[in-house]
Amino acid sequence: MRVISKTKHVPRRPFLLNQRQKSVIFLVMLCLLLLSVVLGGLFLNNDRIATNLDYRNLGPTLAHPFGTDWLGRDMLTRTLKGLTLSISVGLTAAIVSVTIALLLGMLASTMGKVVDGMISWLVDLFLSVPHIVILILIAFAMGGGAKGVIIGLALTHWPSLTRVIRAEVMQLRSAEYVQVSKRLGKSRWYIARKHLLPHLVPQLLIGLFLLFPHAILHEAAVTFLGLGLSPHQPAIGIILSESMRYLSTGMWWLAFFPGLCLLVIVRAFDMIGEQLQTMMDPQRAHK
């Protein structure tokens, strides 16, 4: 007798990505977008932003996707160069601000109640006043320019991250390995360098990318008000400020495309910070 064996067909499960894998793919896409903007701003020919009255006040076309301004300058080139300048200023200010937050957060959590009270009072003082007000005062006192904007941004964006670092270090101080190092006679510098600082790297990285969008927006706002970068530089704030006088004549592209690109770049950096936060959270990363 012939026996026919029947094998049960098991359907193949579709390949699904977890949250960490999705975050990695999303991060790569965002980084490629930002890299393309920076490379475009660095390597585009400066001749396209030279005065050419034969092509002035042109709307968006294939040759000039963002149109041209009242001097015949290509707005796409000006926008990309302005975004590159804003990214460089914002990155410098964010790095300095993160460094200040790290130092003050470490001092507040390791140097006793007196230092902790002084730094906490300083944090509350800066948080009680809007960033833009202090930034305008510092930029005005420094005489404007890139130096004044960078110093103002660096000195106004550290308080929130300082609180996060202080709370994290206070929690790490009670860890068993830190207590063992203290009993073995290790110095505060050794404990901070070997035990505390490695655990703070994720918070510092996330804080850098979350501070970055605020720095870019505030730089554009101060430059828009005339207290930031030089009018001879193709900064986004200057482009938006100059375009205001031409909006009533129907030249809407002068402000629309630079403003939209600024919002896209700010949102991209904000999303990079959110995705890094998701990847470093073990509970959300593997969902």
Q: What is the pLDDT of residues 194-247, one digit of tens each?
A: 778 888 888 888 888 888 888 888 888 888 877 777 777 778 888 888 888 888
b/e sequence 186-199, b meaning 16+ C-beta within 10 Å: eeeeebbeebbeee
Mean residue pLDDT across the chain: 80
Give the confidence band of 144 by pLDDT, cuts at 50, 70, 90: confident
State the Cα–Cα distance between residues 22 and 155, nearest whole angstrom: 35
Which residue would you say has higher pLDDT here, 160 or 45?
Answer: 160
First to last CA, the chain: 52
Q: What is the pLDDT of residues 243-262, one digit of tens each?
A: 888 888 888 888 888 889 88
Contacts with 115 (C-beta within 8 Å, 6 or more apart), sequence order: 107, 108
Contact 34, 265 (CB under 8 A): yes
Residue among 28, 1, 13, 6 nearest 275 (CA)? 28
Helix or strand or coil: residue 251?
Answer: coil
Q: Tens digit of pLDDT for each residue in 31-88?
A: 888 888 888 888 887 777 888 888 888 888 888 888 888 888 888 888 888 888 888 8
Look at residue 19 and tell me whether its pLDDT is greater than 70. Answer: no
**Predicted confidence band of residue 266 (pLDDT cuts 50, 70, 90):** confident
- Report d(CA 134, CA 221) in Å as an integer: 13
Q: Say if residue 2's pLDDT is above 60.
A: no
Is the pTM higher than 0.85? The answer reads: no
> What is the per-residue pLDDT for 8?
53
CA distance 237 to 230: 10
Q: Which of 14-18, 67-71, 100-104, 200-204 has the lowest mean pLDDT?
A: 14-18
CATH class of 67-281: mainly alpha
User: Residue 149: pLDDT above 60?
Assistant: yes
Closest CA to 228 of 86, 130, 95, 80: 86
Let me know: does 73 contact 49? Beta carbons within 8 Å.
yes
Share of the chain above pLDDT 70, in %: 90
